[in-house]
Structure 1
Amino acid sequence: MDAKLDAPAGLARPEETTLFAILLAISFSHLLNDIIQSLVPAIYPVLKTSFALDFGQIGLITLAFQLTASLFQPFIGLYTDKYPRPYSLAIGMGFSLGGLLLLSVAPNFGVLLLAAALIGVGSSVFHPEASRVARMASGGQHGLAQSLFQVGGTAGAALGPLLAAFIVVPHGQHSLAWFSIVALLAMIVLTGIGQWYGRMLAATRAKPRAAAHPSLGLSRTKVFVTISILLMLVFSKFFYTASISSYYTFYLIQKFGLSVQEAQIFLFLFLGAMALGTFLGGPIGDRIGRRYVIWASILGVLPFTLALPYAGLVATGVLSVVIGLILSSAFAAILVYAQELLPGKVGTVAGLFFGFAFGMGGLGAAALGELADITSITFVYRVCAFLPALGLFAYFLPRLGEEPMANS
């Protein structure tokens, strides 16, 4: 993982070179982190049966995880913008390890909530600093770096339900403890990344102070409005995604009579498509402009979400893959767009947007669970189908410089 900090004359400096070893390491860590996180919703069918939970209680478990993951992230990002903490990545994973072990032995609903909250704390520490590492290693290809970083998380979220289907469902709640190996491996990798991060910080501090980040010429009001639009689009994406990640298996079981394992495979296909879309969204944004990717991703998925509640089993599988592929391409573009809108605030922006995304996912899961109890799962999908229409607001995003965005 070592990288030369002072390149000879005529060679690219580290900040001008895309460090794929670091990007792949942080992406792999994100994969391991999100495998652990995705186990929580993936085992809902097991917990529902074991603890006789209703959909409202399932939504509260997601809310407990998402609130701790979301509330702390902006503050951690703001703090680490001023005081970077390279080894906080490994420490945060320690919280996830504790929550995972507690989840494997939880005797009641209250302990389930506590375990989910601990995993959320680990997530809140991980994402702002990991996003900063990705940008540091980007070599100016910020969209590509964010996509590589995020695709690890999306792939981990896809693998979680598959692993749950073949390990936790047959062997029960206690088998979650086996996944502590995943958390320990992540802590080892993150410690290595922390060592590289620390060396980069030391080299940066030894150099003359860099010039201030250039202004984009936008008023504070315009910046505020633009950030608000981006957050609205994140709301649309993650509120809809919550309807899939938390309740898709129940929808398939109830509507088509699938087994838990069969439904988990369908969920894996959706999340796998999201991983591919996440990977494609960043580099496409580097080439054609992030504004266009954001517009096409959020609004472009609308016809497919509207069709999903009325489709048969095979068409449901196909539509969910298309939805995952298109919808997931937006987030890397949104994040890099916001970081360019607020230069020098990488951790703050990452914490705000990851935190808001998780918060919307948690609130969405809780609200949709209550709505499902009152109405039906099918009705939930009919209502959520209209959320991507909020993509119309992407029209009002300003063009930051020339399109496509410069890699700077």
Structure 2
Amino acid sequence: MSASEGVLEGSGTSVSSEGVALTVLAALSVSHLLNDAMQSLITAVYPVLKVKYALDFTQIGLITFTFQATASLLQPVVGLATDRRPRPFSLAWGMVFTLVGLLALAAADGFPAILASAALVGMGSSIFHPEASRVARLASGGRHGFAQSLFQVGGNAGSALGPLLAAFVVVRWGQASIAWCSIAALAAMVLLIAVGRWYAGRLSTAGAGARPASRARRADVSRARVAASIGILLVLVFSKYFYLASLSSYYTFYLIEHFGTSIGAAQLYLFVFLGAVAAGTLAGGPIGDRIGFKAVIWASILGVLPFTLALPYANLFWTVVLTVPIGVVLASAFSAIIVYAQELLPSRVGTVAGLFFGFAFGMGGLGAAVLGVLADRTSIEFVYQVCSFLPLAGLLTGFLPSLDRRGVPPTGPTAAARAS
């Protein structure tokens, strides 16, 4: 049993403790909002940086790759380390890297400096996500899907705010105005210090701070089946984040080049898509708590295929309309995938979170880099025609075992024990 699971056994024992858990979940969600708003600002200001520094699409893709790869490589390591010994205040320390990265981006005077800034923001992300996901599960009272969705919806809402900050602040006041956005990092640090104190108190009460994580898995699923299932889930994450990379990194360019929209209008249309992603993220976890996470994964990956196939051939109006169901349906997958994987490996919560968040970031970065090269060699329109087939990977969901996790787990004295 991991240290955090030892804490779970003593949580949720009264109405007041459940209220504190909801407060912690809200603080994590808001911190995630602030964290991802700052991160999405990087991709949102690409049109500004492209014009100012005469960047091509390959260089744009390399910026995303640098940020995403840094987060991808470090997150599994952070997750494994915190499984062995939780570090409650690492969340606030991770935000320091994001703060420094944004300040560096505001002062960057060329492509190498932009890459270095993106790497610092990626380091902050790698520290934040695995441990924050663990604390969200700790504060869930057994409603793991709900907690994971509430945590992640903050991040998606923050990602949606990035284009608005770019449209109304950076486009108007220039690259240096990015420094003002770093105030969000200071606000997040205040919240995360409070969360760290709560977490440290739980660890102290349980006396579990130094206990290493076990290698336990679900007794009803063989080791080989667990390994194969994790592999399938990673393929599904690949398809999801490669497709999302095509929209988060190149959607504004597609709108500008294909339909002749202004930079400001393109940022607003990107906000519509990212807002839909936030809505889908909030829905996926609670629905999975009720009907099972495998069913949500089925619907969210494969169900988006008709919309992605139609997108490259739609006019401007229908392009904007189609991105709404694409965002809602596709985004509902990730919370379900994370919780499903954690159910397969219940004593490796941090490692699973680090692996999947890290892989998601890595695939997003690799996707941005590969699609940037493809766009330079062909066209931005061709990129969307190719990516429209990625959701076919959802057919692999049929090979996942059914874990029969249905219904919302009860709250109260026994809920946390049943969740461990």
Both structures adopt the same fold (TM-score exceeding 0.5): yes
2:272 matches 1:269 = yes
Q: Report the 3-state secondary structure (helix = DSSP H, G, I; strand = E; otherwise coil) of the residue aligned with 2:183.
A: helix
Q: TM-score, normalised by structure 1?
A: 0.95
Aligned to 1:331: 334
Aligned to 2:3: none
Aligned to 1:75: 77
Q: Report the 3-state secondary structure (helix = DSSP H, G, I; strand = E; otherwise coil) of the residue aligned with 1:249.
A: helix
Is the alpha carbon distance of 1:214 and 1:386 closer, same or farther for their aligned partners in structure 2, counting shifts above 3 Å?
A: closer
Aligned to 1:53: 55
Is the alpha carbon distance of 1:402 and 1:328 closer, same or farther for their aligned partners in structure 2, counting shifts above 3 Å?
A: closer
Aligned to 2:371: 368
Instruction: Return the offset for 1:216.
Output: 2.8
Is the alpha carbon distance of 1:87 and 1:18 closer, same or farther for their aligned partners in structure 2, counting shifts above 3 Å?
A: closer
Q: Deviations over 1:37-59 (max 9, x none)?
A: 00010000000001100000000
Aligned to 1:342: 345
Instruction: Return the offset for 1:214.
Output: 7.0
Instruction: Return the offset for 1:404.
Output: 5.3
Is the alpha carbon distance of 1:206 and 1:55 closer, same or farther for their aligned partners in structure 2, counting shifts above 3 Å?
A: closer
Counterpart code for 1:229: I
Contact 1:7 1:13 survives alignment (8 Å): no
Distance 1:109 1:272 in 2: 30
Counterpart code for 1:255: H
Of residues 211, 217, 220 in structure 1, which corresponds to 2:220?
217
Is the alpha carbon distance of 1:204 and 1:382 closer, same or farther for their aligned partners in structure 2, counting shifts above 3 Å?
A: same
Distance 1:319 1:7 in 2: 43
Instruction: Return the offset for 1:401.
Output: 3.7
Aligned to 1:279: 282
Is the alpha carbon distance of 1:397 and 1:6 closer, same or farther for their aligned partners in structure 2, counting shifts above 3 Å?
A: closer
Of stretches 273-282 and 198-207 in structure 1, the one that deviates more from structure 2 is: 198-207
Instruction: Return the offset for 1:343.
Output: 0.9
Contact 1:38 1:160 survives alignment (8 Å): yes
Q: Report the 3-state secondary structure (helix = DSSP H, G, I; strand = E; otherwise coil) of the residue aligned with 2:343.
A: helix
Of residues 392, 395, 400 in structure 2, which corresponds to 1:392?
395
Q: Report the 3-state secondary structure (helix = DSSP H, G, I; strand = E; otherwise coil) of the residue aligned with 1:400.
A: coil
Distance 2:56 2:377 in 1: 11
Distance 1:247 1:406 in 2: 41
Is the alpha carbon distance of 1:391 and 1:206 closer, same or farther for their aligned partners in structure 2, counting shifts above 3 Å?
A: closer
Counterpart code for 2:83: D
Of residues 229, 233, 242 in structure 2, which corresponds to 1:230?
233
Aligned to 2:204: 202
Aligned to 1:241: 244
Distance 1:107 1:241 in 2: 29
Structure 1 residue ranges without an equivalent (≥5): none
Percent identity of the aligned residues? 63
Counterpart code for 1:158: A
Aligned to 2:116: 114
Distance 1:60 1:252 in 2: 21
Distance 1:220 1:138 in 2: 27
Q: Report the 3-state secondary structure (helix = DSSP H, G, I; strand = E; otherwise coil) of the residue aligned with 1:329.
A: helix
Distance 1:150 1:315 in 2: 28
Q: Report the 3-state secondary structure (helix = DSSP H, G, I; strand = E; otherwise coil) of the residue aligned with 2:221.
A: coil
Of residues 88, 92, 95 in structure 1, which corresponds to 2:94?
92
Q: Deviations over 1:323-358 (max 9, x none)?
A: 001000000000000001001111000000000000
Is the alpha carbon distance of 1:7 and 1:122 closer, same or farther for their aligned partners in structure 2, counting shifts above 3 Å?
A: closer
Q: Report the 3-state secondary structure (helix = DSSP H, G, I; strand = E; otherwise coil) of the residue aligned with 1:72.
A: helix
Distance 2:306 2:164 in 1: 28
Counterpart code for 1:363: L
Q: Deviations over 1:120-160 (max 9, x none)?
A: 00000000000011001000000000000000000000001
Distance 1:271 1:338 in 2: 25
Q: Report the 3-state secondary structure (helix = DSSP H, G, I; strand = E; otherwise coil) of the residue aligned with 1:19.
A: helix
Of residues 293, 304, 307 in structure 1, which corresponds to 2:307?
304
Structure 2 residue ranges without an equivalent (≥5): 1-6, 411-418
Is the alpha carbon distance of 1:311 and 1:214 closer, same or farther for their aligned partners in structure 2, counting shifts above 3 Å?
A: closer
Counterpart code for 1:251: Y
Instruction: Return the offset for 1:18.
Output: 7.9
Residue correspondence of structure 1 range 29-178 to structure 2 within 5 A? 29-178=31-180
Is the alpha carbon distance of 1:375 and 1:211 closer, same or farther for their aligned partners in structure 2, counting shifts above 3 Å?
A: closer
Q: Deviations over 1:176-231 (max 9, x none)?
A: 00012111111111111111110011011179x99986733222111110000000
- Report the count of equivalent residues: 402
Is the alpha carbon distance of 1:316 and 1:389 closer, same or farther for their aligned partners in structure 2, counting shifts above 3 Å?
A: same
Contact 2:83 2:213 survives alignment (8 Å): no
Of residues 184, 187, 194 in structure 2, which corresponds to 1:185?
187
Distance 2:112 2:217 in 1: 50
Contact 2:218 2:343 survives alignment (8 Å): no
Counterpart code for 1:217: D
Is the alpha carbon distance of 1:210 and 1:255 closer, same or farther for their aligned partners in structure 2, counting shifts above 3 Å?
A: closer
Counterpart code for 1:166: F
Distance 2:228 2:10 in 1: 40
Q: Report the 3-state secondary structure (helix = DSSP H, G, I; strand = E; otherwise coil) of the residue aligned with 2:207.
A: helix
Q: Deviations over 1:151-172 (max 9, x none)?
A: 0000000001111111001111
